[in-house]
Amino acid sequence: MSGRAAGAERSSETRELILATAERLFAERGVHAVSNRQVGEEAGQGNNFAVGHHFGSRAELVRAVVRRHAGPVERARVRMLAQVGGGARVWDWVACLVRPFTEHLAALGSPSWYARFGARVMTDPALRRVVVEDALGAESVRRVLDGLNRCLPALPLPVYLERSAMTRHLVTHTCAERERALAAGVPTARASWDDAATGLVSAVAGLWLAPVTATGERTSEEHG
């Protein structure tokens, strides 16, 4: 192997080590509670500027962690889309959003950190925008959202945006809580990631199909 090739291989290995370390530390402590220097030290890098050298900004480091996992999730979603027929319902499209993610989390084994990493990132508006923009750039995600939107009843724009945010929170934090419980050896509500996905798909589909309550109006359940 030439010196240049060996150097490129070492650089690739260093990047991978930094990414794995950043994912774990951000998941455990929070994105802004961990400095680039701490990530580098935990990754065994003597150079205090190793993280900045390889990734530049914090946003690019977060983006690189997300892209590290994007391939398996994308392949699973493409596979699911190939099985979706013309009579697809809301549940089918929601499953295409949820199950590729939970399938990947299952494949990671335990302990894993990616779901908790995602939950931490989503609390920061700027970093959340980075992740969402990356996700919406995937053709498979756009196809799923187009299919879902065709099946949904007409919703006022504020309600649509509100339910989009609720969906993101529900999936992100439910998966993070399950991942945390598995890592700690705590019993979980569902026996497997596949079962957890079933519960999430039902909950998210129900959220999107719930009746729209006018502002100031109370439902019959609230009136009791």
Does residue 214 carry a pLDDT above 60? yes
Q: What is the pLDDT of residues 93-118, one digit of tens each?
A: 999 999 999 999 999 999 999 999 99
Q: Could you tell me how many residues make up the chain?
A: 224
The closest of 49, 163, 58 to 120, measured between CA atoms, is 58
SS3 label, residue 35: coil
Q: What percent of the chain has pLDDT over 90?
A: 76
Tens of pLDDT along 90-99? 999 999 999 9
Task: Please state the pTM of the whole predicted model.
Answer: 0.88
Q: Check residue 6 and give its pLDDT.
A: 46
Q: 6-38 pLDDT, tens per residue? A: 455 566 788 999 999 999 999 999 999 999 999
- Mean pLDDT is lowest, of 182-186, 197-201, 219-223, for 219-223
At 186, the amino acid letter reads V
Residues sharing a CB contact under 8 Å with residue 100, sequence separation 6 or more, in sequence order: 73, 74, 76, 77, 80
